[in-house]
C-alpha cells in the first residue's frame, strides 16, 4: 500500500528549476553581430584609405611616388593615425570649465586660467601615453636627447618630473575645482599661472627630445578639432561644415604624414627608415658581390627605395640588381634612440 502524500508525489514529479546562465547569449543576436561586422569592415576600409593617403604624402615628401594600389601596411598606418587623432581629443574634451550665470572679473580670470592649465595638463597626459607606446616604455626613453652629454639628460629628467607633478596636481584640480574655484579666485588664479608656466616651460627644456613631437601634435590637433566642435555647437559653421571638415582632415593628414609618420617604427605601420645591408651582384662569375649599407624606406614587388647614409636623396633599386638584403638586429631599435 502506497503511503506517500500528494505533496510528496508532486515534489518528486516536478523538475528541478534551471539555473540562469552565467552569460546571456540572447544579447548576441544576428542583428548585433551584423552591425559589429559592418562596423569592423568600415573601420578597416577607412583605415586603409587614411593610411594610403599618409603613405603617399610621406613618399611625396621624400621625392618619390609608388603607384602601387596594394599597400599592406596602409591598414596599420591608418589605424595608428586614427588612434593618435582620437587620443588628444578624448583627453582634451571638457577641459575648459563652463561659464556660470554670474561671476566677477577675478572669478572669470581664475576660470580661464584653470581651464588653460587643465588643457595643457591634458596635452601632457597625451604626450606621456603616446611616448610610452611609440618611443619607449621607460621615462628615460621619453627624455633622452640626441647628444651624449649627461647634464642635458639630468635637466630633462628634472623638467619631466616637474611636468608630471603638474599633470598629477592638475588631474586632482579637474575633478574638484569646478565647484570651489569661486571661493578663493585669487589663489586659484596664482595656482593656474604656476601650473601653466611649468607646463609651458618644461617643453622648452625638453625640446631636443624626440618625444616632444607628440606633445606638439596633441596641442595642434586638439585645438583645431575642439575649436571646430565648439563652433559647430554654437551654429557658426553649419553653413560650411562639410568643406571646413574636409579641409581640416586633409591638413591634419598632411601634418601627420610629414611630422609624425616618418618617425614611427615599422611595427606601428610607420615610415621610419630601416638600416639594411644590400648585396649587389658581382661582376665576375662566382665572385662575392659588393655590400652597401643603406636606409630602406619602402620595399615593393619591383624593388627597393633606399638612400645611402648621410644622404637625403632616395633612389630606386630594382630587385634584379639586388642579390641579397640583410637586416642587422641592432638596427631595429627606435630610429630616434640610435
pLDDT at 264 over 70: yes
pLDDT tens, residue by residue, 265-314: 888 888 888 888 888 776 654 445 677 888 888 877 778 888 887 777 88
Q: Choose the weakest-confidence range: 20-29, 95-104, 169-178.
A: 20-29
Q: Among 212, 192, 220, 157, which Cα is nearest to 336's?
A: 212
Which domains does the chain carry?
A: 78-268 (no CATH), 274-337 (2.30.30.100)
165-223 pLDDT tens trace: 777 776 776 676 666 777 788 888 888 898 888 888 888 888 877 788 888 898 888 88
How much is the average pLDDT of 157-161?
A: 77
| Longest distance between any two alpha carbons in the chain, whole Å | 110
Residue range 32-49: average pLDDT? Answer: 84
For 152-187, give one letter per residue: b (16+ CB within 10 A) or e. Answer: bbeebbebbeebeebbebbeebbeebbeebbeebee
What is the average per-residue pLDDT within 211-239?
A: 74
Q: What's the pLDDT at 337?
A: 44
Which of 20-24, 54-58, 290-294 has the highest mean predicted lDDT (pLDDT)?
54-58
What is the distance between the terminal CA atoms of the chain, rounded to a whole angstrom? 95
pLDDT at 140 over 70: no
Percent of the chain with pLDDT over 90: 3
Average pLDDT, the chain: 76
Cα 309 to Cα 315: distance, rounded to the nearest angstrom: 12
* pTM score, whole prediction: 0.73
Q: How far apart are CA 332 and CA 12, in angstroms?
A: 71
Specify the long-range contacts of residues 71-75, CB closer than 8 Å, at least 24 apart.
73/266, 73/269, 74/47, 74/48, 74/269, 75/44, 75/47, 75/48, 75/51, 75/269
Amino acid at each position: 500500500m502506497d503511503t506517500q502524500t500528494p505533496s510528496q508525489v508532486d515534489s518528486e514529479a516536478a523538475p528541478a528549476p534551471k539555473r540562469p546562465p552565467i552569460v546571456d547569449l540572447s544579447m548576441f543576436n544576428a542583428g548585433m553581430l551584423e552591425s559589429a561586422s559592418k562596423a569592423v569592415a568600415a573601420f578597416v576600409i577607412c583605415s586603409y584609405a587614411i593610411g594610403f593617403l599618409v603613405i603617399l604624402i610621406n613618399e611625396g615628401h621624400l621625392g618619390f611616388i609608388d603607384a602601387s594600389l596594394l599597400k599592406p601596411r596602409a591598414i596599420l598606418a591608418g589605424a595608428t593615425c586614427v588612434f593618435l587623432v582620437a587620443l588628444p581629443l578624448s583627453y582634451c574634451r571638457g577641459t575648459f570649465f563652463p561659464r556660470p550665470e554670474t561671476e566677477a572679473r577675478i572669478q572669470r580670470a581664475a576660470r580661464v586660467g584653470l581651464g588653460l592649465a587643465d588643457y595643457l595638463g591634458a596635452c601632457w597626459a597625451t604626450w606621456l601615453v603616446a611616448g610610452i607606446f611609440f618611443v619607449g616604455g621607460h621615462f628615460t626613453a621619453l627624455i633622452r636627447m640626441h647628444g651624449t652629454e649627461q647634464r642635458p639628460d639630468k635637466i630633462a629628467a628634472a623638467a619631466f618630473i616637474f611636468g608630471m607633478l603638474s599633470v598629477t596636481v592638475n588631474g586632482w584640480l579637474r575633478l574638484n575645482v569646478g565647484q570651489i574655484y569661486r571661493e578663493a579666485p585669487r589663489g586659484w588664479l596664482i595656482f593656474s599661472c604656476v601650473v601653466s608656466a611649468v607646463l609651458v616651460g618644461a617643453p622648452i627644456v625638453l625640446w631636443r627630445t624626440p618625444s616632444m613631437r607628440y606633445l606638439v601634435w596633441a596641442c595642434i590637433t586638439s585645438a583645431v578639432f575642439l575649436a571646430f566642435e565648439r563652433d559647430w555647437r554654437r551654429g557658426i559653421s553649419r553653413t560650411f561644415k562639410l568643406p571646413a571638415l574636409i579641409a581640416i582632415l586633409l591638413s591634419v593628414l598632411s601634418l601627420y604624414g610629414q611630422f609624425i609618420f616618418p618617425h614611427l617604427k615599422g611595427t606601428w605601420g610607420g615610415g621610419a627608415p630601416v638600416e639594411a645591408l644590400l648585396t649587389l651582384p658581382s661582376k665576375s662569375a662566382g665572385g662575392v658581390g659588393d655590400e652597401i649599407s643603406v636606409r630602406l624606406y619602402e620595399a615593393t614587388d619591383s624593388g627597393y627605395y633606399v638612400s645611402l647614409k648621410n644622404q637625403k636623396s632616395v633612389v630606386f633599386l630594382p630587385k634584379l640588381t639586388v642579390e641579397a638584403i640583410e637586416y642587422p638586429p641592432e638596427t631595429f631599435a627606435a630610429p630616434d634612440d640610435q
